[in-house]
Structure 1
């Protein structure tokens, strides 16, 4: 769909941004500003931010689809494809500047990163006016796509997520309550949607792909948005402060642990742990001590049994760092890392409904399932939703 000059979109999508990642420069970087936290588009009139730990985010609000005064009163409820068509998606090596006017002389208000999205407002002299997060301004049209061209790209760069809304949800082999249960997922888990049918969605969990009822989940699509200059400055300052606190707590915990172990000899497991920070290596080495121990749904004991997020939480607790007992919550911790190629030992690797700890050499240690327990696996064995760094 081609937008005419100064044409206003049928729906204005007012959105939020939640940034917890390291900053990026005009060149490629291993750090992402949002780490997957995003504009969340739902089918229907209400669009919501899906971040779990909202208290830690500098900016947040509800995203809503608002009919304009000049639109038809009986305007049909927009489909997800309709909303995708009103997106402006950056297609650049790193980022495109968002400016105050439709000119390169305009003040730089923020950055729209590659594959990040804004909402189309108007077109003027080869520039798109957009709203993205807290930023409203202009981006050069040659670096972005919108209209029909945005629909297919949105499906590729966005992630369709099902967030569990009940305490424990069974995942079944087929889309029926009569079928076998292949696994269980806890409340607030974020699951990657593979397929949608009437009343059911196919999702990816540690035990494999299975089906869950839409009655017990909320569905949305995630996209990363723009970051204003002020947000970037606040984020970087906050991250540096939190990183120093985490490092100090880890150093104290590690010293106490070393003193406690001075008179004992522990059997070492031989896995490649190298590169990255000294603290990250210490986290990975500590986690590897528990390989072979059991998986227990809802558990947090490194010896008697833990689930995936309980394992990550308890490992980091040994270093004085408090993490949530939630795979979705882990996706908001620390700051984002751009891809497995840039991962370092100690990083938290987040999957659909699952998390593990990167140990280097393309591997993770994780509490996998009740069948396998705590094991070491190739990190790329499933699609990665985000990688988060604490130290």
Structure 2
């Protein structure tokens, strides 16, 4: 056997072994850093990549890494992130067909946004198993409490996704579920949850719209209460103009443990004055959407972050 044949055989074995594996790079922020529109410190800042958070690497060149985080695609300096290679087993055609056949009996849902996270448990602090693109299909295994859905992907990965990330299948609309202790123990139907989902889907269309004090429309920008009022008005639900007045007048007060997607969350961000000055809409999965003056736009935020310290109350306006 000559050297050329030996090299060819060795290369063939190498390729056979590694064809069963898929590699992907992930980036984790060492500190909170700016996400920029181009690989340059003079380019526009699109948002921030928080310390400790992890996301997929799209490209890596010239000291800049292109990432997708929280719906923002942009560039971060490679000096401030840790890049790791993650190895995933490929799924054979036979295995994929078996999963698809089994899952076909389950209800199918559609992912509503890019970089949607599939997690190992019903918590935003749990491990991210993978991220999914908008339009991807998953199979609903069960509807859980507190805004989470247990799903299975086509490749057989089972995990949990926040309810607001999914367009739920029609067969869920007619079913009922327990309120889990909500006032008087009435049954909550998926018809009302469907309204909540439509409200959340509508609200998320305005992610990135600039913050403007006193603003009440996409053209002028939004302040916090202007955004919430605008969203609910589109569904025929009238809310007061300010966060404080909404808290006093609209809806039924509920406890923190009872919050569900579509509920209003109120905060005192002035710190200890016990005066409500901020409002957002709960999305499920520990996140809410709001017009943030700090970030300068409509955005999604983890309820257990900075805002958790200033939470005052929650109210339900979808009856």
**TM above 0.5, one fold?**
no
The TM-score range, normalised by the shorter chain, is: 0.3 to 0.5
TM-score normalised over the length of structure 2: 0.36
